[in-house]
Chain A
Amino acid sequence: MDWQGQKLAEQLMQILLVGFAVVAFAAAGYALGSFQMMLLIYASGVVITTLITVPNWPFYNRHTLKWLDPREAEKHPKPQIASSSSKKKSNKK
């Protein structure tokens, strides 16, 4: 997932879970007066939310990260760490 996708996944997860909880409490708890139905509705809500937010669906990858072009990366090579002594570190840019 990309960054926008992660944010979307987190928001969707919170909204869906709270939404299912409210529906379960109001409909099954208060209107029907059945504790078991409330828990069933909420459990199915958790399963549905898991299916929507946890796997890596394509719509989470719409704003893909733009990695640096390889030529740009060659101009700035990675710093080399001296292997002789562990105390001294030489940085070469």
Chain B
Amino acid sequence: MHSFGYRANALLTFAVMVLAVMCAMASLSDNLNSLSPSAQLQVLNVNWFQKSTQGNDEVSMTLNISANLQSLFTWNTKQVFAFLAAEYETPKNSLNQVSLWDGIIPSKEHAKFSIHTTNKYRFTDQGCNLLGKQYNLTLHWHVMPKNGKMFADKLVMTGFRLPEEYR
């Protein structure tokens, strides 16, 4: 510690190490949070149900998504990415997941929402397996923290069924 440069170097190194410890503690404090998200999904209407020019089934529907994801936010949360996926089974694949809608929730105030929309992305199958198909709508969310590891979870809602005929 005998010269200006030596003291400045020691101070900066120690400051950065203490900052790293603070960020680690901030990340660990997220474990104290108790999660209680809730969501409700409704398919209001199947707008059309057709075979595309490539020969694949395609559906367009109007959805009502209302969710309360406020308990996922802590002071260490940067944003929450939520997306809605339709999941169903075909003879070829045991699980197909098609993403219908997604959104970025930047803060706690925006985390309680109710959205009335058509599907943002196409609900398309690889083939023609969708006639009368039973499917689940699953709301997935990824919590992205400011420090630490991202974690993801989901909420499955069963009991949806596509029409038996093309419209």
Q: Which residues of A contact B (CB under 8 A)?
A: 1, 6-7, 9-10, 13-14, 17-18, 21, 24-25, 29-30, 33-35, 38, 42, 46, 49-50, 53-56
Interface of B is mostly: helix
Per-position 1/0 for B10-25, Cβ under 8 A of A: 1100110011011001
- Choose from B1, B19, B146 the contact partner of A10 (Cβ within 8 Å): B1
Check A18 against B146 for contact (C-beta < 8 Å): no
Any A CB within 8 A of the CB of B61: no
Q: Which residues of B contact A (CB under 8 A)?
A: 1-2, 4, 7-8, 10-11, 14-15, 18-19, 21-22, 25-26, 29, 74-76, 146
Contacts of B29 in A (CB 8 A): 29-30
Interface of A is mostly: helix
Known: A6-B2, A54-B7, A55-B4. A24 touches B146 (CB 8 A): no
Report the minimum CB–CB distance from B71 to chain A (whole Å): 14
Question: How many A-B residue contacts, CB cutoff 8 Å?
Answer: 58
- Choose from A17, A34, A54 the contact partner of B18 (Cβ within 8 Å): A17
What would 15 A/B residue contacts be, using CB atoms closer than 8 Å?
A: A6-B2, A9-B7, A10-B1, A17-B15, A21-B19, A21-B21, A25-B22, A25-B25, A25-B26, A29-B22, A29-B75, A42-B22, A53-B11, A54-B11, A55-B4
Contacts of B22 in A (CB 8 A): 21, 24-25, 29, 38, 42
Check B14 against A17 for contact (C-beta < 8 Å): yes
Check B8 against A34 for contact (C-beta < 8 Å): no
Q: How far is the CA of A17 from the CA of B12 in the complex (A)?
A: 10
Contacts of B75 in A (CB 8 A): 29-30, 33-35
Known: A18-B18, A35-B76. A50 touches B4 (CB 8 A): no
Knowing that A10-B10, A33-B75, A42-B19 touch, tell me 19 more A-B residue pairs with CB under 8 angstroms: A9-B1, A9-B7, A13-B7, A13-B14, A14-B14, A17-B14, A17-B15, A25-B22, A25-B25, A34-B75, A35-B75, A35-B146, A38-B22, A46-B11, A46-B15, A50-B8, A53-B7, A53-B11, A54-B11
